[in-house]
Chain A
Amino acid sequence: MQLSMTVRKSFGTFTLATGFTVSGDSVGIFGVSGSGKSTLVSMLAGLLPPDSGEIILDGECLFSSAKRINLRPEQRRIAMVFQQHCLFPHLNVRNNLLYGYKRCPAQFRTIDFNALVDVLKLEGLLDRGVTNLSGGEKQRVALGRAILANPCLLLMDEPLSALDDSLRFQIIPYLRSVSEQFGIPYLFISHSLIEMRLMTDNTLVFEKGVMVEQVSSEQLARNRMGSSPVGYINLLKLGRPSPSAGLFAYPWGAGQLLLSAGSDCDTSMAELSSKDIILFKQHPEAISARNLLKCSVSSLFSSGRKIGVELEYAGNTLIAEVVQDAVNELGIIPGSTIYAAIKASAFRMLPGGLLINFSASACVTGASPIKPTLPKPPIFYTILANISLLLYYKMLARHML
């Protein structure tokens, strides 16, 4: 997917003015609330016309104020997964899923309904009404509905923000695998760094209606380490644990980590803040932290007033943060050896792996949605409507009066 956007849009005092070209199959748009992310997405989908500018997706011009082009949303083949699931309450799961599929021109229909139902594990739900589904099920149906429209681009506008934390991480594998499996590039919008890193490779960062940088999501997390209250979050892929003296020993790359939380999955994901790692120049003889890792320093980077130390341990990378004084005192330079101490309780397991049934109540957050305006009827339909009206009234007059 190659997208180039140069647009300008003002509402009252807020102005979004940006120009960028981005390519890749998993692109992120990152920014806090009010930075213009949703406006941008709505303009891309055709739900909101820019004041001026040009939008070109894979060589096709979707909008151009100079050439007076403005394709309608239904002509753009850009499907959307919204913050709220936005399923049609009067249709069952099957008909919701098929809504976009039926409207997709036959030559573009490449995705098989049954294959998708299989991937999203929706078999048992097809004939149910959508109002009785749980939060996670609803979002899976919404995702399936968007994919089945066979779009050339999938927009995900904070699709996880209405879900609670445990659910979020269970939906992410679906989001990734579905678009990868069916070959649909996506644009993922979020204000969560961790979602960005799990979902995207390349990220556009927005602030107050302006794109400020275009970086990899990993680089973005490093840049934000110094200013973030939680530091840099290390994401660790762990193997199946075995009990060990009241704790759990998880294989991690070629090494092992001791955590206080257990898991019965073959693989799991754990978070560790860069703030929770203590560095020692030499081996401390005795220490209460249960993990003491002998690491080598691969690089240093600065972020705000903090220095990030990239550590190498058993084929894994770990980022710790320290202040400049500590770097000087410990003599940390790339290539040096250092001990990292981590408490077993400092890790936080991310719920992931298999999706089980849970009932989550989705909380309503975020900005108010854009109010749709529909065009005035074209003349053909007006005539058609008038003829039907005439027939209707003729019948009425004959039978009632």
Chain B
Amino acid sequence: MTPLSPTDYDAIRLSVQVAIAATLLSLPFGFAFAYLITFVKFRGKVLLEVLVNLPLTLPPVVVGYFLLLLLGRHGWLGSLLNEAGIRLIFTLKAAVIASAVVGFPLLVRSLRIGMESIDPQLINASRTLGARWHDTLLTVILPLSVPGLAAGSSLMFARSLGEFGATIIVAGNIPGVTQTIPLAIYEYASSPTSESMALSLCLVSVVISLVVLFLHEMMAKKMARRR
């Protein structure tokens, strides 16, 4: 096994950075979507559910390609941003967006399961005790969604660490800029002499995943005890 090179350290740092940023980026949206789907009655709810879950079933490369179409220099959103002087494609921001989109369904799913497990009578009780809807949201729904929030965030974080297909399309594979662990491993694996370098990074990846999953389980246990 070969010791890690400076670009490997960069890849590890970038991976963690992207995963955290993508999770934080998605949290408010995830909470809003889960809330809408669970508690608000409206037309076209099924359509929304399907759209939210779409990235889960689409190949990540397809998601990446759509993002490229959307955010590219001639894309619908990309051209607008370009005029404003913002460039997303082939930057770390694009990697974050790609990870956020791909992991989003996992986050919403966990949050939704958490919210659905809240006894509806608790919400009714809070309303009859004089709480307005946003008060109920902050004082009953949000605290009782924390287990779902924690579970969803850790799943999403783990998913973002492994994100490859969409990232390589919208963010490229630029060492030190957008190259995350999976992209670096891919690069090592495609050159015939760097097998052991790939193995080192694989081990790092395994260790990070194990830590995240341990934390996830521990949090789940703690939550279960508290209930």
A residues whose Cβ falls under 8 Å from a Cβ of B: 45-47, 72-74, 76-80, 82, 84, 86, 88-90, 99-100, 103-104, 131, 145-146, 149, 155, 369-377, 381, 389, 392-393, 396, 400-401
Contact A375 B133 (CB under 8 A): yes
A297 to B125 alpha-carbon distance, docked (Å): 50
B144 & A90 in contact (Cβ 8 Å cutoff): yes
Q: Beyond A100-B130, A374-B40, is A400–B227 a contact (Cβ under 8 Å)? A: no
Provide a sorted-by-A list of 27 A–B residue pairs whose CB atoms are within 8 angstroms: A45-B128, A46-B128, A72-B127, A74-B131, A79-B129, A82-B125, A84-B119, A86-B119, A88-B122, A88-B140, A89-B227, A99-B131, A103-B129, A104-B130, A146-B128, A155-B128, A369-B121, A374-B40, A374-B136, A375-B40, A376-B42, A389-B28, A396-B25, A400-B21, A400-B24, A401-B92, A401-B96
- Chain B contact residues, CB within 8 Å of chain A: 17, 20-21, 24-25, 28, 39-42, 92-93, 96, 119-137, 139-140, 143-144, 227
User: Is A77 touching B124 in the complex (CB atoms < 8 A)?
Assistant: no
Quick check: A370 and B127 within 8 Å, CB to CB? no
Contact A401 B93 (CB under 8 A): yes
- In the bound complex, residues from chain B placing their C-beta under 8 Å from that of A376 are 40, 42
A146 to B128, CA, bound (A): 9
Known: A86-B119, A131-B227, A374-B123. A103 touches B21 (CB 8 A): no
Query: Residue on A with the closest CB to B129?
Result: A100
Contact between chains at A371 and B120 (CB < 8 Å):
yes
Contact call A392/B28, Cβ cutoff below 8 A: yes
A-chain residues with CB within 8 Å of residue B124 when the two chains form the complex: 45, 47, 73, 80, 82, 86, 369-370, 372
Q: A100 — which chain B residues lie within 8 A by C-beta? A: 129-130
Q: Given A73-B127, A90-B143, A393-B25, does the pair A82, B121 have CB atoms closer than 8 Å?
A: yes
CB distance from A400 to the nearest CB of B (A): 4
**Complex: A369 Cα to B42 Cα, angstroms:** 21
Question: Are the CB atoms of B130 and A401 closer together than 8 Å?
Answer: no
Q: A372 with B39: in contact, given A47-B127, A99-B129 (CB under 8 Å)?
A: yes
CB distance from A49 to the nearest CB of B (A): 12
CA distance A375 to B40 in the complex (A): 7
B40 contacts which chain A residues (CB < 8 A)? 373-376
Q: Name the residue of chain B whose CB is nearest to the CB of A150.
A: B130
Most chain A CB atoms below 10 A, which of B92, B93, B119: B119
Closest to A78 in B: B128
Distance (Å) between the CB of B72 and the closest chain A CB?
20
Task: State A80–B122 Cα separation when bound (angstroms).
Answer: 11
- Most B CB contacts (10 A, CB to CB) among A76, A90, A372, A401 go to A372
Query: In the assembled complex, which residues on chain B have CB atoms less than 8 Å from the CB atom of A369?
Result: 119-121, 124
Distance of A131 Cα from B24 Cα, bound (Å): 32
Instruction: Give the one of A77, A89, A131 with max B CB within 10 A.
Output: A89
Report if A86-B125 is in contact (Cβ < 8 Å); known contacts: A372-B120, A373-B41: yes
* Chain B minimum-CB-distance residue to A396: B24
A56 to B144 alpha-carbon distance, docked (Å) = 35
Q: What residues of chain A lie closer than 8 Å to B125, measured between beta carbons?
A: 80, 82, 86, 88
Known A103-B130, A376-B40, A401-B93; 12 more pairs at CB < 8 Å: A78-B128, A86-B119, A86-B125, A90-B144, A100-B129, A149-B129, A149-B130, A374-B123, A377-B133, A381-B134, A393-B25, A396-B21
The answer on a CB contact under 8 Å between B120 and A370 is yes
Nearest-neighbour CB distance to chain A for B117, whole angstroms, equals: 11
CA distance A88 to B92 in the complex (A): 42
Return B33 CB to nearest CB of chain A, in Å: 13
Residue of B whose beta carbon sits closest to that of A82: B121
Let me know if A84 and B121 touch, CB within 8 A: yes
